Structures are given as C-alpha cells and as structure tokens.
Structure 1
Amino acid sequence: MDGKCLCGAVSFEIEGPLPNLYQCHCSKCRKLSGSSSDTATFLNRDQFKWCSGLDVIQSYRMESGYRSDFCQKCGSSVPHLMDNQKQYWIPAGLLDEAGNEKVVAHLYVSHKAIWDVLAGQGTQFAEMPPMDELNQLLQIKRNS
C-alpha cells in the first residue's frame, strides 16, 4: 500500500496489512485536520518505508509533546515516528488505496465539537485510552 501528500512530494510505502483506524476528536486534532476529527492509525516501524520527500517535511511540537509533521510544499499532515520509536503515526487520508479497515475507536469524545456527530460503531473513549489498549483494538479485524 502506498501513500503520499497532496502534492506528491512526500511519499511512503506500507508493507503488510494496515491496522484499523481511530478518530481523535480533541481540539488539537480538530485544528490539525480542519475538521471534526483526525482519522489515523499506528503502524509498526518495520512495516513503514519512506520513498521521497524527507527533505520537505517540517515538524511542529507543542510543549505538551503534541507533534505535527507536514509537507512544506502543500501543508498535508504526513506520518511521523512516534516517541516510543516503535511505531509510525499514519494519517489515513494519505493512503492511495482503501482496504477493509474500519474506524474502531473514537478518542476524546468528551472534547468533540458540539456539531460533531460520531459515525460508525467504534468504541468511544472520553479521553485518551492507554496505548496498549488502543493498539490492541486497532489490530482486531472486524467483519464487514
């Protein structure tokens, strides 16, 4: 599976199956996406490979540790290696192909915008669940 930013300058490959997805409804992810939530997943480091564009990636980090990497040319959010150094954060909108992944978790639903309507049947978390719990949920494949 391949992915790229809006202008195509940053591109990457994913080996193996993609985990399911989550949507984060916190205020930071809403600002990052410009929408009701950010849809993404976490991928093991050994499944991810950069193809192009490392030289055009800019990183922004808040004092809280919140991080956003983006293409300097088009502004698209792009994957980044997480602080645990074991996983990449993958924005779902960059993927070229749609698989059978489903949104299985909604994070920070207690912070969602008043106009945000949750779609699907994913597990709802008022705040951020423990990473082990979220990773386990993302790995469970559900029937269509």
Structure 2
Amino acid sequence: MDGECLCGGVKFKIEGNIPNLYQCHCSLCRKATGSSANAATFVEQENFRWVSGQDKISSFQKPTGYRSDFCSVCGSPVPNQIRGMELLWVPAGLMEESFKAAVTVHLHMGSAASWERDAGECISFDAGPESLAALKNAINRT
C-alpha cells in the first residue's frame, strides 16, 4: 500500500494488510486536523518504509509529549514513530488505494466537538455539489 501527503513530497509504503482504524476526537487531534477527529492506525515498523521526502518532514511537540509530524510544504500530517515502540502512527487519509480496514474504535468521545453529529443525519452528496450556492443552501438548511 502506498501513501503520500497532499503535495506528494512525502511518500511511504506499507507491506501487508492495513490494520483497522481508530478515530480520536480529543481537542489536540481536532486542532491538528482542523476536523472533528483524526482517523489513523498503527503499523509495525518492519512493515513500513519511507520512499521519499523525509527531509520535508517537520515536527511539533507539546511539553506533554503530544507530537505531530507534518509535511513542511503542504502541511499534511504524516506518519511518525510512537515513542519507545516499534510502531508508527499512520493517518488513514494518506493511503493512495482503497483498503478493507474499518474504523473500529472512537477515542475521547467525552471531549468530542459539540457540533459533531452522526453523518446519517446530514445531507450527503456523492461528489461535490454543483455549485457553491448549492453547498451554502445545504449548510443553512435546518
């Protein structure tokens, strides 16, 4: 399985099956992704290989130990090694191909954003709406 950041500058490869995913809804993950949660998995170091772009990776670490690695060109979060373990944290959205893993765990639901709700209650489009006006109308529908 191949993975890469938004600009394609950081690339990696994972051998074998992708493990199931988790979503973390804590405030740190919301801020790091700009979304309601991050979706990620852990991959054994022996099954992970950088292809290119390691020189483009920057890191941010809080005094508490929370670490975020990202592409310094496009800002995409990128895999990073878990402290003291032979595991890498891998953001699911970087995968280039479809895979069979599913989200099986939700973390920190007690601190999930108040505006987050089940997608089943939302208006859905198979692709982007035909216009920005259509999106605005869908967003403003109550």
CA distance in 2, matches of 1:55, 1:97: 24
Partners in 2 of 1:54 and 1:119 — Cα distance? 35
Secondary structure at the aligned position of 1:64 is classed as coil
Aligned to 1:49: 49
Report Cα offsets for 1:34-91 as digits up to 9, x if no partner.
0100000000010000000010100110001000000001100000011023100000
Where do residues 1-144 of structure 1 align in structure 2 (5 Å cutoff)? 1-118=1-118
CA RMSD of aligned residues (A): 1.2
Distance in 2 between the 1:119 and 1:40 partners? 19
Residues 2-47 of structure 1 deviation map (CA, whole Å, 9 limit, x = unaligned): 0000000000000000100000000000001101000000000100
Structure 2 distance, partners of 1:109, 1:22, is 12
Larger radius of gyration: 2
Once superposed, which parts of structure 1, at least 4 consecutive aligned residues long, lie more than 3 Å away? none
Distance in 1, Cα, partners of 2:118 & 2:107:
11
Query: How many Å separate the matches in 1 of 2:111 and 2:118?
Result: 12
Given residue 110 of structure 1, which amino acid in structure 2 is its aligned partner?
A: G
Q: CA deviation at 1:118?
A: 4.7
> Which residue identity does 2:37 align to in structure 1?
S
CA distance in 2, matches of 1:7, 1:23: 24
Structure 1 length-normalised TM: 0.81
Distance 2:78 2:39 in 1: 12
Give the Cα separation in 2 of the matches to 1:56 and 1:109. 33
Q: Deviations over 1:87-112 (max 9, x none)?
A: 00000000001211100000000000
> For the residues of structure 1 that align with 2:47 and 2:75, how far apart are their CA atoms?
25
Distance 2:78 2:84 in 1: 18
Consecutive unaligned residues in structure 2, runs of 5 or more:
121-142
Query: Matched residue pairs, number?
Result: 120
The structure-2 alpha-carbon separation of the partners of 1:62 and 1:96, relative to structure 1 and needing over 3 Å to count, comes to: same
Same amino acid, percent of matched pairs = 52
